[in-house]
Chain A
Amino acid sequence: MSIHTTKTVTRRGLLKGATALGAFSAFAPALLRAGAAQAAEAGDILSGSHWGAFNATVENGVWTKITPWDQDPRPTPMLEGVMDSVYSPSRIKYPMVRKAFLENGPGASPENRGSEEFVRVDWDTALELVTNELRRVSETHGPGGLYAGSYGWQSPGKLHNCQNLLRRTLNVGLDGKFVNDSGDYSAGASQIIMPHVLGTLEVYEQQTAWPVVVENTDVLVFWGADPVKTNQIGYVVPDHETYAHLEEFKKTGKKVIVIDPIRTETAKFFDAEWIPVRPHTDVALMLGVAHALYSEDLHDQDFLDEYTAGFEKFLPYLTGESDGTPKTPEWAAEICEVPADQIRELAKLFSDNRTMLTSGYAIQRQHHGEQSHWMLVTLASMLGQIGLPGGGFGLSYHYGNGGSLSANSVILSGLSDGGTAVEGMAWATETGAASIPVCRIVEMLENPGGEFDFNGTRATYPEVKMVYWVGGNPFSHHQDRNRMVKAWQKLETVIVQDFQWTATARFADIVLPATTSYERNDIEHIGDYSLKAILGMKKIVDPVFESRTDFDIFTDIATRLGAGEAFTEGKDEMAWIKGFYEDAAKQGPAKGVEVPKFDDFWDAGVVVFEVPESASQFVRYADYRDDPLLEPLGTPTGKIEIFSRNIEKMGYDDCGPHPTWMEPIERLGGNEPYPLHIDSGHPNNRLHSQLCGTKIREGYAVAGREPCVINTADAEARGIADGDVVRVFNDRGQVLAGAVVSDDIRPSVIRMYEGGWYDPVNAGEPGSLDAYGDVNCLTVPISTSKLAQANCGHTGLADVEKFTGDLPAVNVFEAPAGG
Chain B
Amino acid sequence: MTDTHMIPRVVAYRWLAQFFLCPPDLAKLESYNSVEGRQFLTSLQYDPVLASPASWLKDAVANADTLAHLQARISSAFTGAFDMGGPRAALPYASVYLSDNGLLFQKPARDMIALLQEMEMQLPEGVSEPADHLGVQLQVAAELLEREEQGEPVPIPAVAFLDQQVLTWLPAFHQRCATLAEDNPIRIFADAAQALVQDTVHPAELCREPV
**Which residues does A use to contact B, with CB under 8 Å?**
1-7, 9, 11, 14, 17-19, 21, 23-40, 59-64, 84, 86-91, 93-94, 96, 117-120, 501, 544-546, 695, 698, 811, 814-819
Contacts and interface: CB of A to CB of B under 8 A. Distances in A.
A31 B124 contact: yes
A2 B79 contact: no
A162 to B, nearest CB: 21
Contacts of A3: 48-49, 51-52, 208-209
A9 B46 contact: yes
B164 interface: no
Nearest to A84: B103
Nearest to A119: B79
A33 B139 CA distance: 11
B206 to A, nearest CB: 9
A579 B128 CA distance: 31
B83 A96 contact: yes
13 contacts: A3-B209, A14-B6, A18-B43, A27-B32, A28-B11, A30-B143, A31-B124, A32-B123, A33-B122, A35-B120, A94-B83, A120-B79, A544-B128
Contacts of B78: 120
Contact of A816 (B48, B84, B109, B129): B84
B85 A11 contact: no
Contact of B122 (A38, A64, A94): A38
A4 B53 CA distance: 11
B39 A18 contact: yes
Interface stretch (B14-22, B61-69, B150-158, B165-173): B14-22
Contact of B104 (A11, A18, A88, A96): A88
A89 B102 contact: yes
A546 B89 CA distance: 19
Contact of A24 (B11, B84, B89, B120): B11
B110 A59 contact: yes
A354 to B, nearest CB: 50
A2 B48 CA distance: 8
A463 to B, nearest CB: 33
Contact of A14 (B15, B36, B37, B46): B46
A90 to B, nearest CB: 8
B114 A60 contact: yes
Contacts of B12: 28
Nearest to B111: A60
A116 to B, nearest CB: 12
A33 B14 contact: no
Interface residues of B, number: 82
Contacts of B32: 27
A24 B146 CA distance: 14
Secondary structure dominating the interface of A: loop
Contacts of A817: 80, 84-89
Interface string B1-28: 0001111101110110110010000000
Given A32-B140, A40-B113, A119 B11 contact: no
Nearest to B5: A11
B100 interface: yes
Contacts of A31: 14, 17-18, 21, 124-125, 127, 135, 139
Given A7-B211, A26-B36, A34 B104 contact: no
B161 to A, nearest CB: 14
A438 to B, nearest CB: 31
Given A5-B48, A21-B11, 13 more contacts: A3-B48, A14-B46, A26-B40, A31-B17, A32-B139, A59-B110, A88-B104, A89-B102, A544-B128, A698-B101, A815-B83, A815-B85, A818-B89
Given A36-B120, A119-B79, A814-B85, A91 B104 contact: yes
**A21, A84, A90, A818: most-surrounded residue (chain B CB, <10 A):** A818
B55 A2 contact: yes
Contact of B75 (A14, A30, A120): A120
Given A3-B52, A64-B110, A37 B15 contact: no
Given A33-B123, A814-B85, A818-B83, A6 B43 contact: no
Contacts of A91: 104
B48 A34 contact: no
Given A23-B39, A27-B15, A32-B116, A546 B123 contact: no
Nearest to A90: B85
A17 to B, nearest CB: 6
A35 B113 contact: no
**B12, B83, B146: most-surrounded residue (chain A CB, <10 A):** B83
Contacts of B146: 30
Nearest to A818: B80
Contacts of B122: 32-35, 37-38
B7 to A, nearest CB: 8
Nearest to A819: B80
Contacts of B100: 695
Contact of A818 (B40, B88, B117, B143): B88
Contacts of A120: 75, 78-79, 83
A522 B205 CA distance: 55
Given A6-B46, A89-B96, A818-B83, A33 B110 contact: no
Interface string B71-85: 000011011110111
Contacts of B4: 11
